[in-house]
Chains A and B, each alone.
Chain A
């Protein structure tokens, strides 16, 4: 009897050790590079700024007043519109990449099995080049002399001497392009496991194309889609390379607004307060997303 107890205890100890060994490095990483910096940030957000924008005591709520839009020139709705604009751009980019991903994923799945990994590799390949370089390429593709712009001029979508970039359409394009692989890969993973007998059953029952998709394909690929939404929406929300290059920073997004507070117009406490707000918005988004995905039944696989 006692032998069995020690055996159980030993086994438990062994499991605990294994748990620490496997999750320890990750935990260490998170504490060192996520938790501690976040705490520093939290501290800075409640400090005052000296003349050169560096954080000093006493503690102050002024950074949050600045976030709310109060400045030297009076109250300004600027920050609220920046937040809404970031949410909107991230939302549209996510939607566009999802819409583009479905046909692409099923195209890849329709190819013979041996070449599928190769096709998938082609999707991921561009991200081996630096994001800044790829975004610069888009700047040229959407500039005043580019063929795409010529088309836009003829459709009277853009004034004759201007380019598509910089502008909000260019920002959406850049964001959707940049994060498309992060939508395709998880979607592919769940589409690969699709139970085609359900689709065939639907077809036998004379379901229309749209009905067939929304009743058989969509629910089965939902977990992948939801993962993709997280992978695309969160980085797109905070991105600052694309809005800077393709938007010229004339319509700021939250990432650029934060970057400014640590470079061009130094004010660290204000920048830290903005970052906190961004983290809170992202966190709330994730919670809402979890609730939604649980209701839709894709929670287990989609949670990250």
Chain B
């Protein structure tokens, strides 16, 4: 038995990944960001500029990021990248500290329409990073006629056979999509409509070809391998895999019944270990050529007006910059705070279990 325990313990220990160690003599910027959202070269550029080390950690959903901050991460990470509608909630919880505008000499590069947003008056806590849309990606070799709405997920007649997924996340996009499908609009806010949408998703969950709750980026990867045929997706994720040629056959569309336009922002956790470095990093991203190389890498649209001339053509594609016609159907998710957040959360809990 003793030998067995040793064997088992040894095997387990080898299975664990050694923790990342940073060099002690350099200050470290701890960046907590969505996966596939920043390039090595941009990080290298900042390390050169600040003579510091950048440690990048990834997440797949706002909920995952917020949960880590709540569990003590607000004193571990220096920069986080929450979506716009998450900012008021995180401020309300005391998870963020104001950014230092005196350090942000490049702030003027931001396009006027991205300055002073309703979700964060005066850009007090957050600075726009990239913006994009959430729509549908599907495999046209399997689903021939997806229609132009959310029926591809919620109507068994549109896709009776092929496996599809719904993101797990915090539920806002999913309930919004179900609301839009039911005709209440993507930004439904009446709890009765939420509950009706929740029931629709529960019914969807019971369909035999529902393949589970999988967040947008991992779902895209599963679809590349032919594991699923339809999912919600971020436009830039699809532009990215089209650019590297790994998903040429997949198609993306914005449902006519309404879908989401969002801004992801850079913010500094309340007890960040290196707030000065964090402000320097935010200012670095706001630089015109860094902003351009960011969009050229992650294929999302840039809120940086000064960066536009340096963008390599991708911005003109409909996938990245929606047409005026499509813009009419796109909405920002309204922030939720306090009791209303709790109510929404309880509804989404009941959907997942």
Contacts and interface: CB of A to CB of B under 8 A. Distances in A.
A129 to B, nearest CB: 7
A87 to B, nearest CB: 17
A265 B348 contact: yes
B227 A144 contact: yes
Given A128-B15, A140-B227, A52 B71 contact: no
Given A127-B11, A144-B227, A182-B8, A248 B195 contact: no
Contact of B211 (A52, A82, A166): A166
Nearest to B66: A266
A128 B227 contact: no
Interface string B9-38: 001101101000000000000000000000
Contacts of B229: 161
A247 B212 contact: yes
Nearest to B343: A72
**From A82, A181, A265, residue with most partner B Cβ within 10 Å:** A265
Contact of A189 (B3, B163, B352): B3
Contacts of B212: 166, 247-250
Given A248-B211, A266-B67, A260 B352 contact: yes
Nearest to B161: A161
**From A160, A161, A247, A248, residue with most partner B Cβ within 10 Å:** A248
A76 B349 CA distance: 12
B349 A267 contact: yes
A191 to B, nearest CB: 12
Contacts of B226: 143-145
Contact of A260 (B8, B343, B349): B349
A128 B213 CA distance: 28
A127 B168 contact: no
Contacts of B341: 51-52
B212 to A, nearest CB: 2
A78 interface: yes
Contacts of A202: none
Interface residues of A, number: 53
A255 interface: no
**From B66, B67, B353, residue with most partner A Cβ within 10 Å:** B353
B64 interface: yes
Interface in A122-146: 124, 127-131, 139-140, 143-145
A227 B225 contact: no
B163 A144 contact: yes
14 contacts: A49-B342, A52-B89, A73-B198, A127-B15, A140-B225, A143-B226, A144-B226, A161-B161, A166-B211, A166-B212, A249-B212, A264-B169, A264-B171, A267-B345
Given A189-B3, A250-B211, 7 more contacts: A54-B93, A162-B162, A260-B349, A260-B352, A263-B67, A264-B169, A266-B63
Interface of A: 49, 51-54, 71-73, 76, 78-79, 82, 120, 124, 127-131, 139-140, 143-145, 159-163, 165-166, 181-182, 185-186, 189, 227, 231, 247-250, 252, 257, 260-267, 301
Closest 4 CB pairs of A and B: A248-B212, A265-B349, A161-B161, A263-B67
Interface of B: 1, 3-4, 7-8, 11-12, 14-15, 17, 61, 63-64, 66-67, 70-71, 89, 92-93, 142, 161-163, 165, 168-171, 195, 198, 205, 208-214, 222, 225-227, 229, 337-339, 341-343, 345-350, 352-353
